[in-house]
A and B are shown apart, each in its own frame.
Chain A
Amino acid sequence: MSASPPGFELVTDNRDCVVLRLTGDWLQDAAQRPDFADVERELHGLSMQALVADAGELGEWDSILAAFLLQVYQLCRDAGADFSTRQMPDGLDRLLGLAMAVPRHRREPEPRRPWYTRMSGRGLLRELIDRGNITLGFIGEIALAFGNLLRGRSNTRFSDFRECCYQAGPDAFAIISLTSILVGMILAYLGAVQLLQFGAEIYVADLVVIGTLREMGVLMTAVVMAGRTGAAYAAQLGSMQANDEIDAVVTMGISPMEFLVLPRILALMVMMPLLTLYANLLGIIGGGIVAGGMGITPLMYIHEGQTALTLTHLNVGLAKSVVFGLLIAVAGCRAGINCGRSSSAVGQAATEAVVTAIVYLIIADAAFNIIFQQLEI
């Protein structure tokens, strides 16, 4: 069947009534379709009381015609004219009836200030202070919950703690192994190239041992755990929030801090030093592999490494790891507990947890190094 092109004709029956005669096939594939603007232009000059849409010569039709007629209807209504139809296909008449049934919703225009006024220093400062307040409040609640735990009046369950320990510890072995060996190797390469110029390549062992124990072992473990466990905490608690589970915990008379947050924080604070020890060992082995490739025998590497290895260096790393564990867990749990109730909010919470945790880590690490420098540790 060959489609005849769609069109319309405006006929003025008498002074007040305009007839809109629709002709041809109004289909979306038609090459040339009349535009609503055409009707609007032609109707503009006429002061009409009523408009009748006549479909007596209409062929086939689809949504595009209905959309067209709806606009004509709206034009009539705005002009205060009556709109009626004649010889419409039954379905089209029903559809128009549905579409005209509910008046158009008008959105209140929101006052939008230009971006530079929204970027004001005071606003940014206030936002920063608000965020700080939330975090401080959160830390305060953790402290109270911890106090309750010490006095034996807490609702923290040991089984939750054990489960969290398993997730934060043994489950992370594989990825920690990979990253720490590689970081040990990177340290060794970095040092070896420089030390070779002085013929002092044996000191690669010192560099790897001190660098890994004091800095890289713990920092890389913390970064991996922030991405792995911190984000998981935010996602777990966030989806509990979205699922009304946290409300259920509260209405059972249990503090979510004691029940949900504390086991996670404690688990990470316990597992981080253990993971750091493991990462230190693997980092030193990784450095040894590279040193072996440069002609330093394993025995020489171990001997030289032993002279650099002191308890102080080890303790510096372990002290950092406990604090880093606390920071990662706080960032993750805070983002999760303050999560919104939609599924997209859970994703935002996980992202926020990782970003905040890494910022915390870098700041804390810098602070540690300054303090240790001043104390000459």
Chain B
Amino acid sequence: MSAAHIEVRDLCMAYGSRVIQRDLSFDINRGDIFVIMGGSGCGKSTLLRHLLGLIEPTTGDIRYNGRSFVQANETERDVMRRSWGITYQSGGLFSAMTVGENIALPLQLYTRYSRNEQADIIDYKLALVGLAGYQDYYPSEISGGMRKRAALARAIALDPEILFFDEPSAGLDPISSSLLDELIVQLQASIGATVVMVTHELPSIFGIATNAVYLDAASKTMIAYGKPQELREHSDEPVVRQFLNREPHEASEESA
């Protein structure tokens, strides 16, 4: 078994004939908080959707625990997916179910907990994200930040090995977003999961990321890989330093 938890090899992503990113090769190590960063429209979310298997790659391979996900059939994929927890950009909570029912769904599908135990687990997961007592609310009745946290509670319902986040702090105020970052770090440290996160929020990137990849929209490939603090100081690519130092530059205007 190889050391890296997730391996991306020569991945090429395209919508039809329009290439989004090509030749992506990087490792995500076990226990990392890994950030996929880049300017708007560079294909960050597309890469995440490839990792999740929502879009098929044009060429290349994605391996989880050394096993190819791209070549796996649907049944094998479902088994692999069971150890993932995913939080979508706007939460992805089912609006027709209460928060409690949302968290109960994966428990009902994949565990043999009794009804009482399910209720205990739901209570505990909600307490973890600071939402104890919100079981009976519908997603439309709570605020955007709470929805994100409720979605996180659903994502960790099955004690996942990998947690995916798509823009966790999008649409949140700085305080809520730093609380969410803190929560992600705490959860990561205590359940030992690998975290993969798409974001362009610099506070999150410097605050919690242990490793990162930078996707460039102009050259359509990754141009930096490493710890964000080091990239900010020592990256060979001026674009990456500008991005991380929050300096305006002409290339970003074009690629936006």
Contacts and interface: CB of A to CB of B under 8 A. Distances in A.
A87 interface: no
B124 A67 contact: yes
Interface in A61-96: 62-64, 66-68, 70-71, 90-92, 94-95
Interface of B: 95-96, 111-113, 116-117, 120-121, 123-125, 127-128, 130-134, 136-137, 140, 159, 183, 186-187, 189-192
A126 interface: no
Interface string A92-107: 1011001111111111
Nearest to A69: B124
A198 B131 CA distance: 78
Contacts of A36: 120
A304 B163 CA distance: 76
- Sorting the interface of chain A by its residue count into under 10, 10 to 19, 20 to 34 or 35 or more gives 20 to 34
Nearest to B90: A343
Interface in A88-133: 90-92, 94-95, 98-107
A28 interface: yes
Contacts, number: 78
B110 to A, nearest CB: 10
B120 A28 contact: no
B247 to A, nearest CB: 31
A64 B124 CA distance: 9
A95 B125 CA distance: 10
Contacts of B159: 62-63
Nearest to B130: A102
Contacts of B131: 102, 105
Contacts of B123: 67, 70-71
B120 A71 contact: yes
Given A28-B112, A29-B112, A105-B134, 10 more contacts: A64-B113, A66-B124, A67-B124, A68-B120, A91-B190, A94-B190, A98-B190, A99-B128, A103-B132, A105-B131
Interface string A268-308: 00000000000000000000000000000000000000000
